[in-house]
């Protein structure tokens, strides 16, 4: 027996908020701000976006580890934030997130045609998310009404470990019976999500404008001038650079052309991470 690299993609593993739904990734960020506010801790939207892509408990822990936020907590409670405090904030976060996730559940323009293209190319559709299962079930149900039904869904708390590790992506590989991780492409708008795909041995595509790094809703994005878009592309490409995605695209609407390019490279024997 000998190893033979796959000749074409078999699956796309897609993120949710900022990738397929919720242009600008507002549902989680605004709720982090509200959850911290219930403890009289001020948190800006930009601060809330910082660790985006991680599981939500880990996201809150990361926020509490940031010196400026830890200082606010210590000023309010006369002690640094502990894991028990993180859990208390998370327990405030969860009902707020469940109650409000529907307000930011619209599919990103171009998502359905892009997914249809991938299915026509023979790809199965798996998904991962930083959302826990309680929230994920609401998001999945709303997406189904809008016409999006992936083949598999892995929530942040379905497994012992999550992003930036490979576990969620690999759970999709197993569930979808994919023969080789190199036949998968991971699509995400966050650094932990791209690292998830890279650590799983997959092709990776980072999305610049629909998610966390731009942080604008779709009308505000559409109002940007060409020069403003170019400036944001340069800035966001720099933010993605440390995790080395195979491709960068503006939104999921640009994904079909990238899928075709990856398939062409695979037909020549190329594998993920080869440049």
Please answer whether residues 107 and 21 qualify as being in contact, where contact means their C-beta atoms are separated by less than 8 angstroms: yes
Task: Pick the catalytic residue from 15, 22, 188, 246.
Answer: 15
- Listing DSSP states for 22-63 in one string gives STT-HHHHHHHHHHHHTTT----HHHHHTTBTB-HHHHHHHH
- Listing DSSP states for 153-183 in one string gives EE-GGGSS--TTSSHHHHHHHHHTT-S-GGG
Domains 11-25+105-267 and 27-103 share a fold: no
Q: Whole-structure pTM over 0.75, yes or no? A: yes
Burial label, 267 (beta-carbon count in 10 A; 0-12, 13-18, 19+): exposed
Name beta bridge partners: 127. Answer: 14, 153
CA angle 32–188–223, rounded 5-degree value? 75
Distance (Å, whole) CA 72 – CA 93: 18
Check if 186 is active-site: no
Please answer whether residues 180 and 208 qualify as being in contact, where contact means their C-beta atoms are separated by less than 8 angstroms: no
What tokens does 38 get? 């219930």
Task: Pick the catalytic residue from 56, 85, 188, 246.
Answer: 56
Q: What does the domain layout of the chain look like in residue ranges? A: 11-25+105-267, 27-103
How many CB atoms neighbour CB 211 within 10 A?
28
Topology (CATH) of 11-25+105-267: Rossmann fold (3.40.50)
Distance (Å, whole) CA 80 – CA 85: 9
Distance (Å, whole) CA 252 – CA 112: 9
pLDDT of the chain along its 275 residues, tens only?
A: 888 889 999 999 999 999 999 999 887 777 888 888 888 888 888 888 777 667 788 888 888 998 998 999 898 888 889 999 889 988 888 888 888 788 888 999 999 999 999 999 999 999 999 888 988 999 999 999 999 999 999 998 999 988 899 999 999 999 999 999 999 999 999 999 999 999 999 999 999 999 989 989 999 999 999 999 999 999 999 999 999 999 999 999 999 999 999 999 999 999 998 76
Question: pLDDT value at position 212?
Answer: 86
Give, in order, the Cα–Cα distances in Å from 224 to each of 166, 214, 221, 229, 261.
35, 11, 6, 6, 28
Distance (Å, whole) CA 174 – CA 172: 5
Question: pLDDT value at position 275?
Answer: 64
Name beta bridge partners: 125. Answer: 12
List the one residue out of 116, 139, 141, 128 whose CA is nearest residue 55. Answer: 128
Helix (H, G, I), strand (E, B) or coil at 212: coil
Give, in order, the Cα–Cα distances in Å from 116 to each of 2, 112, 113, 130.
34, 6, 5, 24
Instruction: Name 70's Cβ contacts closer than 8 Å, sequence gap at least 6.
Output: 64, 80, 81
Please answer whether residues 84 and 227 qualify as being in contact, where contact means their C-beta atoms are separated by less than 8 angstroms: no
| Superfamily of the domain at 27-103 | Putative phosphatase; domain 2 (1.10.150.240)
Check if 15 is active-site: yes
């Amino acid at each position: 027996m000998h190893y033979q690299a796959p000749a074409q993609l078999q699956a796309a593993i897609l993120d949710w908020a900022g990738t397929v739904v919720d242009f600008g990734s507002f549902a989680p960020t605004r709720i982090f701000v509200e959850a911290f506010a219930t403890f009289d801790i001020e948190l800006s939207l930009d601060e809330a976006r910082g660790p985006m892509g991680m599981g939500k408990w880990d996201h809150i822990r990361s926020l509490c580890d940031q010196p400026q936020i830890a200082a606010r907590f210590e000023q309010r409670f006369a002690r640094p934030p502990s894991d028990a405090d993180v859990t208390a904030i998370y327990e405030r976060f969860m009902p707020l997130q469940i109650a409000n996730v529907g307000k930011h559940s619209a599919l990103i323009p171009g998502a359905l045609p892009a997914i249809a293209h991938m299915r026509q190319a023979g790809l199965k559709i798996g998904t991962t998310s930083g959302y826990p299962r309680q929230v994920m079930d609401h998001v999945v149900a709303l997406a189904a009404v809008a016409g999006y039904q992936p083949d598999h869904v892995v929530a942040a708390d379905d497994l012992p470990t999550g992003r930036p590790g490979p576990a969620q992506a690999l759970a999709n590989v197993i569930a979808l019976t994919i023969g080789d991780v190199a036949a998968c492409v991971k699509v995400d708008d966050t650094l932990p999500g791209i690292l998830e795909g890279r650590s799983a041995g997959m092709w990776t595509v980072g999305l610049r404008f629909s998610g966390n790094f731009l942080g604008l809703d779709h009308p505000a994005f559409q109002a940007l001038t060409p020069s403003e878009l170019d400036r944001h592309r340069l800035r966001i490409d720099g933010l993605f650079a440390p995790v080395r995605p195979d491709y960068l695209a503006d939104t999921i609407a640009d994904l079909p052309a990238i899928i075709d390019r990856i398939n062409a490279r695979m037909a020549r024997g190329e594998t993920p991470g080869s440049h």
